[in-house]
């Protein structure tokens, strides 16, 4: 019932607030470890979040984990998406850098607790989407995370990064997200920040959370 009412019960990324502006924050996030999958949404009937199942299987969220250790990976939040070629996020969908760890074999699966955010990014290649699950903070290095048995999943270390962030509730519809991103970009540039890339959309709740009680954030990388 708590999640229906917007309660966030999973691990969220630690961060330091560097600046509080007019309706936004600038945050610094420490390095972390992510599970990553790059795919073409056409393979998922045009669903930009279609790769979610592949990563959820890696951590054991949907059953037997597809990794090589006997340990479950906890889920975190938020889920982060970017898409549309120009940094536009997809419409209301919820999905869940560095040495790369490739697949392993021969050992028993290790369930991995799912963390958040889940990140999708279409900046890798034309038509492609890259989705990331940020793993729990107990995995400080890529080599500490369970090795995936699905060769499409890689484990990467995500470096320290800074984001300008605006928070809002309700349904994260395309128009709303674009308006929030445009307003945030204008506020950041007015305050002297340099925009370093397209925005991403962070959603902290599952789809069954009542819309007015959902927590969403538009995040823009800055320097």
The answer to whether position 146 is within a domain reads yes
Question: Do 218 and 184 share a structural domain?
Answer: yes
The answer to whether position 104 is within a domain reads no
> Given this model, what pLDDT does residue 37 score?
85
> Given this model, what pLDDT does residue 8 score?
85
Structural domain harbouring 197 = 1-30+160-222
Question: Do 128 and 65 share a structural domain?
Answer: yes
121-142: pLDDT as tens digits: 545 556 777 777 889 999 999 9
Whole-number percent of the chain with pLDDT over 70: 77
Question: Do 135 and 72 share a structural domain?
Answer: yes
Question: What mean pLDDT is reported for the chain?
Answer: 81
What pTM does this model have?
0.77
180-215: pLDDT as tens digits: 999 999 999 999 999 999 888 888 888 789 999 999
The answer to whether position 107 is within a domain reads no
Question: Do 73 and 142 share a structural domain?
Answer: yes
48-99: pLDDT as tens digits: 778 888 988 999 988 889 999 856 788 888 766 665 444 444 433 333 333 4
Residue where one domain finishes, among candidates 113, 138, 159:
159
Question: Do 78 and 49 share a structural domain?
Answer: yes
Residue where one domain finishes, among candidates 159, 179, 213:
159
The answer to whether position 187 is within a domain reads yes
Question: Do 212 and 183 share a structural domain?
Answer: yes
Total count of domains within the chain: 2
Q: Per-residue pLDDT for 175 more than 50?
A: yes
The answer to whether position 102 is within a domain reads no
Residue where one domain finishes, among candidates 159, 181, 209:
159
Question: Do 138 and 217 share a structural domain?
Answer: no
> Given this model, what pLDDT does residue 200 score?
83
pLDDT band at 46 (very low <50, low <70, confident <90, very high): confident
Whole-number percent of the chain with pLDDT over 90: 42
Question: Do 174 and 155 share a structural domain?
Answer: no
> Given this model, what pLDDT does residue 105 score?
38
The answer to whether position 113 is within a domain reads no
Question: Do 132 and 62 share a structural domain?
Answer: yes
Give DSSP secondary structure letters for the chain. Answer: -TTTTT---SB----EEEEE-SS-EEEEE--EEEEEEEE-GGGGTT-TTTTHHHHHHHHTTTSS-SBSSS-PBPPBB-EEE--SSSSPPPSS--------B----SS-----B--B-EEEES-SSTT-EEEEEEPPTT--SGGGSPPBSSTT-EEEEEPPEEEEEEEE-S---HHHHHHHHHHHHHHHHHTTPPB-S--EEEE-S-TTS-GGG--EEEEEEB-
> Given this model, what pLDDT does residue 212 score?
95
Question: Do 146 and 202 share a structural domain?
Answer: no
> Given this model, what pLDDT does residue 148 score?
93
The answer to whether position 213 is within a domain reads yes
The answer to whether position 38 is within a domain reads yes
Question: Do 41 and 136 share a structural domain?
Answer: yes
For residue 64, give the CATH number of its domain: 3.20.80.10
Question: Do 80 and 136 share a structural domain?
Answer: yes
């Amino acid at each position: 019932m708590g999640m229906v009412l917007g309660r966030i019960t999973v691990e969220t990324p630690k961060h330091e607030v560097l600046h509080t502006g007019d309706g936004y924050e600038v945050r610094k996030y420490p390095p972390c470890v992510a599970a990553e999958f790059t795919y073409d949404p056409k393979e998922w009937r045009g669903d930009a979040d279609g790769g979610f199942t592949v990563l959820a299987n890696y951590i054991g969220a949907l059953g037997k984990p597809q990794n090589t250790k006997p340990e479950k990976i906890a889920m975190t939040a938020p889920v982060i998406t970017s898409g549309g070629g120009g940094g536009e996020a997809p419409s209301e969908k919820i999905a869940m850098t560095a040495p790369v760890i490739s697949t392993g074999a021969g050992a028993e699966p290790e369930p991995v607790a799912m963390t958040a955010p889940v990140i999708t990014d279409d900046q890798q290649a034309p038509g492609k989407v890259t989705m990331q699950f940020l793993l729990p903070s107990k995995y400080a290095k890529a080599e500490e995370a369970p090795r995936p048995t699905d060769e499409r999943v890689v484990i990467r270390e995500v470096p320290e990064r800074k984001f300008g962030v605006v928070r809002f509730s309700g349904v994260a519809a395309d128009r709303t997200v674009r308006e929030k991103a445009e307003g945030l970009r204008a506020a950041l540039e007015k305050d002297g920040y340099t925009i370093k890339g397209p925005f991403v959309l962070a959603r902290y709740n599952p789809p069954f959370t009542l819309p007015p009680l959902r927590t969403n954030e538009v995040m823009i990388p800055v320097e």
